[in-house]
Amino acid sequence: MIGFLKGSATAMITPFTESGVNFDAFGKMIEYQIAGGTDALVVLGTTGEPATMTEEEKEALMRYAVKACAGRVKLIFGTGGNNTEKAVRMTKLAEVIGADGILAVTPYYNKCTQNGLIAYYRAICGATKLPVICYNVPSRTGVNILPETMEKIAEIPNMAGIKEASGNMTQVLDTARRIRGKCDLYSGEDALNLPILCAGGTAVISVVSNLAPKAVKELVCAVEACDLKKANELNDRLAPLSKACFVEVNPIPAKAGMAMLGFDAGEPRAPLTPLEEAHATVLRDTMSAFGLEIKA
C-alpha cells in the first residue's frame, strides 16, 4: 500500500522516573511536537527504549499517547521484536488501543534468514488491518533486509513501507526502485534524510526532530516543493545537530538534549548510561548554535 505516511515523523523518547514512565513529561513532549508541525509520532521505536520496558508499561504508554494526541497527529506504535508470537500479540493490542500504524523492527539477535524475514512480516501484517512499516537497521539487529527481499515484502497488502536505516545509499536506491508503486520508502537515518527524500522517500522518521521538529518538517516540505536550494540550506543547518545527536548511541544524546530544552526527560535505562560530560558540552554548544533555547 502507498500513501500512509508523508512528512515528518518523530521517533519519540520515553521519559522515565525511578518508578516508571513519566507521563506528564511525555505529554509535554507531544505538545512540543504538534506545535512544531510534526505529522506523526513513533512511540516505542528504538529511541523509546522499548527493550527496557515491561509489557504493562508499553500498554500504558500507548493508551496515554492515544488520549493525549486525540487524533491530531498519526500515532505509530513499535511492536516488533525477536519473538514473532509476542510481536503479533503487541500488534493486535496496539490496534485495539487506537494506533494508526505499526512499526515492526526486524528480529534482532536471532539473525533469521531472508525467508524468515518474509514470514515474520506476513505474520505481523496478517494480525492487523493497520498499515505496517518494516524497520531495517542492521547495525543494531544483525540482519539486513535485502532489496530483493523487500520487493517480496512489499507485496503484502497492508505493508505501508520501509524505514531505511542501513546507511547504505546504494542499497536504499535499489530498494526504492524495487518497491516503487507498491509501498513507500521512509528515511530512518537523519544524516541521510535529504538523499532518501530525493530518491522518492515520502517521509522521515527522525531522532533529531525530538529537539528541532520545525526544522525537520521544513526540510521535508522544501523537498516536496522541489526547492532543492532551500532543502540543501536546511540540511546543511541540521547536519551538525544530527551529528551531535549521535555522539553516543541513540537515545542517550536525544534524552540529554530534551533535558537541556527544559523537559523532564529523565535518564536512559540501564544498560544505557547518561551522556558523558564532554559529549554533553558538544551537544549543548551545537544546540545553542542551532538556535535552540538552552534552559538546563
In 3D space, the residue among 102, 20, 24, 78 whose CA is nearest the CA of residue 54 turns out to be: 20
Q: Are strands 184-187 and 203-206 parallel, antiparallel or unpaired?
A: parallel
In tens digits, what is the pLDDT along the chain, a chain of 296 residues? 899 999 999 999 999 999 999 999 999 999 999 999 999 999 999 999 999 999 999 999 999 999 999 999 999 999 999 999 999 999 999 999 999 999 999 999 999 999 999 999 999 999 999 999 999 999 999 999 999 999 999 999 999 999 999 999 999 999 999 999 999 999 999 999 999 999 999 999 999 999 999 999 999 999 999 999 999 999 999 999 999 999 999 999 999 999 999 999 999 999 999 999 999 999 999 999 999 999 98
Residue 256 identity (one-letter amino acid): A
Residue located via cell numbers 513507500? 184
| Distance in angstroms (rounded) separating the CA atoms of residues 275 and 147 | 36
The grid coordinates of residue 197 equal: 527524500
Distances (CA, A) of 233 to 8, 197, 209, 239, 246: 17, 15, 17, 10, 21
| Distance in angstroms (rounded) separating the CA atoms of residues 56 and 142 | 27
DSSP summary character for residue 276: P
With beta carbons less than 8 A apart as the criterion, state whether 167 and 136 touch: no
Contacts of 233 (CB under 8 A, 6+ apart): none
| Distance in angstroms (rounded) separating the CA atoms of residues 165 and 275 | 23
The top-level CATH class assigned to 7-231 is alpha beta
Residue 128 identity (one-letter amino acid): T
Residues taking part in catalysis: 135, 163
Q: Are strands 184-187 and 40-43 parallel, antiparallel or unpaired?
A: unpaired
In 3D space, the residue among 144, 141, 133 whose CA is nearest the CA of residue 51 turns out to be: 141
Q: How far is CA 248 from the centre of its chain?
A: 17
45: how many CB neighbours lie within 10 A of its CB?
30
| pTM summary value | 0.96
